């Protein structure tokens, strides 16, 4: 088929299916969660084991729906594109197919933006509003039906945690598979026999991962008289067995596919799997009140709310070192494994393609357990509604996993961006890269990543790159700040409404009057819709503007800066928020004076600040770093066309 | 003289003088501030104008001592090195001198680390401790002599704000001049007639800046019945007139020196000057309670401390966009001006050197008003002790200036790092850069920045660079978190001591017993010394370890990531802290219920959280980003030697 214009014709259709399937997954997940909450509560009355079973298997619906729909979407489009894209050179054809498919991620990104950012604002406006008037002013317990905002709060948990988390990870899952396929098509461009296998490998690993996740899900069971510790152990067993089996199968897959570097590529998968598990454990250490960091935050409540905030922020910031070092090691290790540990030649042309493919494979490896990790995570809110304390830790580790996988996915997307630039140049009729120093030139069809870096001077001495890094870092903070203030504003409205109802509707606090729950739901909904507009527009506009003004080096700087800052900021916010939440729980369990004490009041302030940290702004950053990459990828043609003017 | 080993022999001596002069400036500043506080209070009793005169001129002592000693140190060492370094080629000799002088910054960096980080922990441990027990628990006013921690608190203001700010800006001032001189020596290496002039130009601009700052200082006066607004106008008049005159003189200097691009280089200086002023204005908008952002934070106190924290953090994060966009434009504009606005050829070899020289010149331009901007800033704590409300806004704008100049200086240092790598390679007997693709090779003596980027593959597709960016971003948060927790821990000890004294020393609160002030000073001192150890060690060790493990690309990534994240994080923390402080002041002036109201209590929590934000962790990041660059520069020889093994 003919390519006309800057963008290929499939993007609008692909956009719609990506968005549709992501929304469908969210819809199923929320439906299941709604039904499951009551059933979990009933089952938990019988035994903890039964409660766990119902909650966890309901969460598994979400996990399996996400991975299932994602693989369905990817497979269907592959078949369609394989049929319609006509191209004489087989090596070139797969590159065309994979780079086109990559733009599908855009639909999933947009849907994730709505679910994660909008959902995050929705849920926390309700939660903060409900807590401030209900718990602090009126002195009624959490989730008390006398509180008019309590329905909005519970709805919000499902919107934000279930649908938001699902859409976020759907995007990472699709993004990592598609980016790795594109990188594989490029790395093996001169080896037609292996190219198709390199494109299919990430999909095969993902598919095997689905089946092994189902196996893991059935392993999550425990004795009738299990305590909390045993329940956690049961969950961990399920995830770890799945991960171990995927690792083993990976060796078989790459060997059977006939990859020369089958051993190295398998270790790339393992580095991703391990990174996911280590990040989860690190998150648990810094956010669970079984360990000293969170207990110290609770203790600092002795000197009031200010020291709780200071100590929670300090701990959250310190906690960033575990995920960052883990991801850094995973990047280096998966790169080196894929390139046969040739440290000396780390950056030579051919190795770079293989190494980046290895990093993509690591991202796919990390996300291959998504069926079960999303189950442990989506089950959080279900269990939270029914068995409060149980879901807290898994929610925090799930967030760590989401951030880590977003970072690795964004890295693979960064490499894919160059692929799109290459395709964009070819589409515009360019054939040769002429280097600035005039020394030599390279045919675009055969040019590697290093050639493009050289041609566009995407180096750290290029002021456009440095300016891009500054703006990218700023975007992470700006996006966060806008969503924080959005929660503040929407919560303020909720507070006023709840106060009004307490004042005007007679007998609410005595339990004889009925609060107007619907009004509170409406406030959250409208607030979320209005408040997500500006941050969303910025996330979409800035990569486009940067591309037009600063070209490819500016965009690469923007993405790298946004990725670096956004990743660390997201970890900090998620962990601070998680730690504050559990510090409060620690006090509520009777420590340091228990409920109602001054220490408790101080930790409630920490928890309230932590709400938008961990459930709105922090998770929104996952979306930001992936969305900016995705926009850049879809707009790559425009950037190239503009720079050629 | 002969060069043996990896590092040149002058570093230890240079290290000591840099540290000595920086400490000396801090000593004079603190002495002056101590004497001036009482005199300001006395003069202010006569009239606001007299109070302003005494406070501001005392602050000017600090400003002029800093710039004077810095220029003395630089000039003296230039003469010494010019005498001792023997080298046949004149072009090469100046490169040797300037790259050697650059390592002097190390002494200033270390001193700044002690004064800014140690001082920051000292002052806030005392402040938070004093406020928590005194204001919140015992209900006595701020700075009440009955509070045992009040002396430590006042001492801390001088240590942190006067000495810390002075050492921070001394480092930026020296760093920007020396880095620009080194970049000038490199940019004009093939033009011996202009090379010396390019090296001297930043020093001449700085020297002229001193005299015009003095002129500006004398302009800061107002009528006898001036109100606060007129006082601010008087301060702004002094700074703006100095800046304007420097801009005018710059044209004359570059023209008389005979630079072909005299017009462009003058505009580079102006872009730096303008950036400093815009950042100051932006900071004022977001932190002064004359404007809506800070008032909204105060209003959110109606719903308690949690919403004050959320809204203050959101506002601080949003406020980052002004300094970042300003610095980004200053970078691009100063680069383009220096290269004659040749946008097409932005990255060609010779242009890159000139462009980076232009960025350095912009940094020097921004800091050329340091004599007077540091005066408005150092006068803050003096006025704060005597005329509380007056010094608050100038302190916030001063912080913005310090962060902005640190960012531009770090950028110039990043370019200088490559200069040091070049010298390191020559010193180790390397002569030729052989490129990975084997296409061609370049003589090291003639190699430009782009060649080194190409040789070391410092591109955004190199996983070592990306890992470096991740670690750099993480370092900013880790450093921040460690200093936050340090304040928390030291403050906790202070709280316990103050409570003990209230309990054990009879009659303190009645004013009949004398508190043990010395004990509190001791706690702050010991706490600061102990707590600054780990963050300092990390800031020094990480660049060295990164250099050894990941080589030049890793170090460049580390510095770029640390600069991007650190700059934005520093602005966020300084502005959030400043806004909380003024939100509290706004309430104390009788708004929203005034002193003692629930809103006031909520804003006091915000102010307490803001203390370590704006006075410890935020400013410490200026040190981190410059120190990591400086360590990398001093250790460049080691990195090169290791990579050649």
- What is the secondary structure of A137-149 as a DSSP string? II-PPTT-TTSTT
CB-facing half-sphere around the CA of A338: CA atoms within 13 A: 33
Q: What's the mean pLDDT when you consider all of chain B?
A: 88
Q: Write out pLDDT tens, residues B264-322.
A: 999 999 999 999 999 988 998 999 888 999 999 999 998 889 999 999 999 999 999 99
- The answer to whether A354 and A377 are in contact (CB under 8 A) is no
At residue A481, what are phi and psi to the nearest 5 degrees? -60, -40
Select the highest-mean-pLDDT range: A138-152, A591-605, B16-30, B424-438: A591-605
Read off the pLDDT of each residue in B6-24 and give the average, rounded to a whole number: 78
Which stretch of A66-70, A163-167, A464-468, B271-275 has the lowest confidence by average pLDDT?
A: A163-167
Read off the pLDDT of each residue in B101-113 and give the average, rounded to a whole number: 84
Read off the pLDDT of each residue in B244-265 and give the average, rounded to a whole number: 95
Distances (CA, A) of B225 to B47, B51, B217, B266: 7, 12, 20, 40
Using CA atoms, how far apart are residues B520 and A602, in angstroms rounded to an integer? Answer: 25
CB atoms under 10 Å from CB of B375, counted, come to 31
> Could you say which of B310, B418, B567 has the minimum Cβ distance to residue A487?
B310
Distances (CA, A) of A435 to A359, A431, A457, B455: 28, 13, 9, 15
Contact at CB, A304 and B136, closer than 8 angstroms: yes
- Contact list, A556 vs chain B (CB under 8 Å): 460
- The answer to whether A124 and A156 are in contact (CB under 8 A) is yes
Which stretch of A21-25, B130-134, B477-481 has the lowest confidence by average pLDDT?
A: B130-134
Contact at CB, B453 and A460, closer than 8 angstroms: yes
Interface mutation target, options B470, B542, B604, B624, chain A, most CBs of A under 10 Å: B470
- Provide the pairing of β-strand A432-434 with A441-443: antiparallel
- Provide the pairing of β-strand B432-434 with B441-443: antiparallel
Which stretch of A137-146, A405-414, A511-520, B198-207 has the lowest confidence by average pLDDT?
A: A137-146
Read off the pLDDT of each residue in A378-388 and give the average, rounded to a whole number: 63
Q: Work out the percent of chain A whose per-residue pLDDT is above 70.
A: 93
Residue B446: pLDDT band with limits 50, 70, 90: confident
Report the pLDDT value the prediction gives residue A109, as an integer from 0 to 100: 85
Report the pLDDT value the prediction gives residue B4, as an integer from 0 to 100: 38
> Could you say which of B321, B474, B556 has the minimum Cβ distance to residue A478?
B321
> Could you say which of B305, B318, B469 has the minimum Cβ distance to residue A485?
B318
Using the predicted structure, report yes or no on whether residue A88 has a pLDDT greater than 70.
no
Report the pLDDT value the prediction gives residue B541, as an integer from 0 to 100: 96
For residue A346, the SS3 value is coil
Contact at CB, A492 and B568, closer than 8 angstroms: no
Contact at CB, B324 and A471, closer than 8 angstroms: yes
Closest CA to B334 of B256, B403, B275, B278: B275
Interface mutation target, options A330, A473, A551, chain B, most CBs of B under 10 Å: A473
* Residue length of chain B: 645
Read off the pLDDT of each residue in A63-92 and give the average, rounded to a whole number: 86
- The answer to whether A561 and A469 are in contact (CB under 8 A) is yes
Read off the pLDDT of each residue in B469-497 and give the average, rounded to a whole number: 93
Distances (CA, A) of B596 to A138, B289, B502: 22, 19, 22
ipTM over 0.85 threshold: yes
More confident residue, A446 or B626: B626
Burial of A190 from C-beta contacts in 10 A (0-12 / 13-18 / 19+): exposed
Contact at CB, A473 and B564, closer than 8 angstroms: yes
Report the pLDDT value the prediction gives residue B215, as an integer from 0 to 100: 94
Closest CA to B144 of B159, B158, B133, B156: B133
Report the pLDDT value the prediction gives residue B2, as an integer from 0 to 100: 35
More confident residue, B628 or B492: B628
Residue A3: pLDDT band with limits 50, 70, 90: very low
Which stretch of A358-367, A391-400, A539-548 has the lowest confidence by average pLDDT?
A: A391-400
Distances (CA, A) of A438 to A148, A355, A455, B638: 71, 28, 11, 33
Using the predicted structure, report yes or no on whether residue A291 has a pLDDT greater than 60.
yes
- Contact list, B356 vs chain A (CB under 8 Å): 461, 463
Contact at CB, A132 and B466, closer than 8 angstroms: no
Using CA atoms, how far apart are residues A377 and A384, in angstroms rounded to an integer? Answer: 11
Using CA atoms, how far apart are residues A482 and A478, in angstroms rounded to an integer? Answer: 6
Token pair for residue B334?
């100063």
Report the pLDDT value the prediction gives residue B150, as an integer from 0 to 100: 87
Read off the pLDDT of each residue in B434-454 and give the average, rounded to a whole number: 80
Contact at CB, B449 and A436, closer than 8 angstroms: no
Which stretch of A265-269, A483-487, B146-150, B207-211 has the lowest confidence by average pLDDT?
A: B146-150
Report the pLDDT value the prediction gives residue A85, as an integer from 0 to 100: 79
> Could you say which of A303, A461, A491 has the minimum Cβ distance to residue B492?
A303
Using the predicted structure, report yes or no on whether residue A2 has a pLDDT greater than 60.
no
Contact at CB, A305 and B310, closer than 8 angstroms: no
Using the predicted structure, report yes or no on whether residue A275 has a pLDDT greater than 90.
yes
Task: Report the chain A residue with the minimal C-alpha distance to residue B330.
Answer: A467
Report the pLDDT value the prediction gives residue A311, as an integer from 0 to 100: 95
Is the pTM higher than 0.90? The answer reads: yes
Q: What's the mean pLDDT when you consider all of chain A?
A: 88
In sequence order, the β-bridge partners of residue A441 are A434
Token pair for residue B447?
């190699």
In sequence order, the β-bridge partners of residue A263 are none
Closest CA to B24 of B59, B81, B73: B73
Residue B389: pLDDT band with limits 50, 70, 90: low
The angle formed by the CA atoms of residues A578, A582 and A583, to the nearest 5 degrees, is 115
Enumerate the H helices of A288-367 as residue ranges: 292-299, 305-318, 321-338, 349-367
Read off the pLDDT of each residue in A146-150 and give the average, rounded to a whole number: 88
Distances (CA, A) of B405 to A189, A286, B275, B457, B563: 47, 35, 9, 29, 12
Q: Write out pLDDT tens, residues A208-267.
A: 999 999 999 988 887 776 666 777 788 888 989 999 999 999 999 999 999 988 999 999
Q: Work out the percent of chain A whose per-residue pLDDT is above 90.
A: 47
Using CA atoms, how far apart are residues A463 and B357, in angstroms rounded to an integer? Answer: 12
């Amino acid at each position: 088929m003919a390519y006309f214009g800057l963008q290929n014709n499939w993007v609008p259709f692909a956009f719609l299916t990506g968005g549709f399937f992501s929304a469908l997954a969210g819809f199923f997940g929320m439906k299941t969660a709604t039904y499951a909450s009551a059933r979990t509560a009933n089952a938990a009355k019988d035994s903890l084991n039964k409660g766990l079973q119902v909650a966890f298997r309901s969460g598994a619906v979400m996990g399996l729906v996400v991975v299932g729909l994602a693989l369905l979407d990817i497979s269907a489009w592959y078949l369609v594109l394989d049929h319609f894209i006509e191209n004489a050179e087989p090596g070139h054809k797969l590159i065309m197919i994979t780079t086109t498919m990559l733009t599908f991620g855009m639909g999933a990104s947009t849907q994730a933006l709505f679910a994660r950012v909008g959902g995050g604002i929705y849920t926390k406006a309700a939660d903060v509003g409900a807590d401030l008037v209900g718990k602090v002013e009126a002195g009624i317990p959490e989730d008390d039906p006398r509180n008019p905002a309590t329905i909005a709060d519970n709805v919000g948990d499902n919107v934000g945690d279930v649908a938001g988390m699902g859409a976020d990870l759907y995007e990472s899952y699709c993004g990592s598979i598609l980016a790795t396929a594109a990188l594989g098509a490029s790395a093996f461009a001169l080896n037609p026999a292996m190219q198709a296998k390199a494109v299919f490998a990430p999909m095969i690993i993902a598919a095997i991962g689905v089946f092994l996740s189902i196996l893991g899900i059935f392993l999550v069971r425990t004795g009738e008289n299990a305590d909390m510790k045993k329940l956690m152990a049961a969950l961990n067993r399920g995830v770890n067995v799945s991960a171990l089996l995927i690792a083993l199968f990976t060796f078989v897959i790459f060997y059977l596919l006939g990859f020369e570097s089958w051993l190295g590529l398998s270790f790339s998968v393992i580095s991703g799997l391990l990174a996911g598990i280590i990040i989860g454990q690190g998150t648990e250490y810094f956010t669970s009140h079984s360990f000293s960091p969170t207990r110290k935050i609770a203790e600092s409540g002795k000197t009031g709310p200010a020291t709780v905030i200071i100590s929670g922020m300090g701990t959250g910031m310190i906690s960033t070192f575990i995920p960052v070092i883990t991801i850094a090691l995973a990047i280096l290790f998966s790169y080196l494994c894929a390139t046969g540990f040739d440290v000396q030649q780390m950056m030579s042309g051919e190795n770079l393609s293989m190494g980046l493919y290895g990093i993509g494979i690591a991202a796919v490896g990390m996300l291959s357990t998504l069926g079960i990790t999303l189950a442990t995570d989506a089950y959080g809110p279900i269990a939270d509604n029914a068995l409060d304390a149980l879901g807290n830790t898994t929610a925090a580790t799930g967030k760590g996993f989401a951030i880590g996988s977003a970072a690795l996915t964004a890295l693979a997307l960064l490499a894919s961006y160059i692929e799109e630039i290459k395709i964009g140049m070819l589409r515009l009729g360019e054939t040769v890269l002429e280097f600035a120093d005039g020394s030599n030139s390279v045919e675009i069809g055969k040019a590697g990543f290093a050639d493009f870096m050289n041609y566009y001077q995407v180096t750290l001495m290029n002021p456009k790159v440095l300016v891009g890094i500054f703006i990218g870092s700023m975007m992470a903070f700006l996006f966060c700040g806008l969503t924080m203030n959005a929660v503040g504003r929407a919560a303020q409205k909720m507070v006023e409404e709840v106060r009004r109802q307490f004042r005007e509707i007679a007998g609410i606090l005595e339990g004889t009057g009925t609060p107007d729950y619907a009004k509170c739901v409406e406030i959250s909904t409208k607030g979320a819709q209005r408040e997500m507009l500006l941050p969303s527009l910025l996330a979409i506009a800035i990569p486009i503007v940067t591309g037009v003004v600063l070209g490819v080096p500016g965009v690469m700087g923007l993405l790298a800066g946004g990725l670096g800052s956004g990743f660390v900021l997201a970890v900090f916010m998620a962990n601070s928020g998680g730690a504050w939440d559990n510090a409060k729980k620690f006090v509520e369990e009777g420590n340091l004076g228990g409920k109602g004490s001054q220490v408790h009041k101080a930790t409630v302030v920490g928890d309230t600040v932590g709400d938008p940290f961990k459930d709105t702004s922090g998770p929104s950053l996952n979306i930001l770093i992936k969305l900016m990459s995705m926009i850049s990828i879809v707009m790559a043609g425009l950037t190239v066309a503009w720079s050629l003017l």
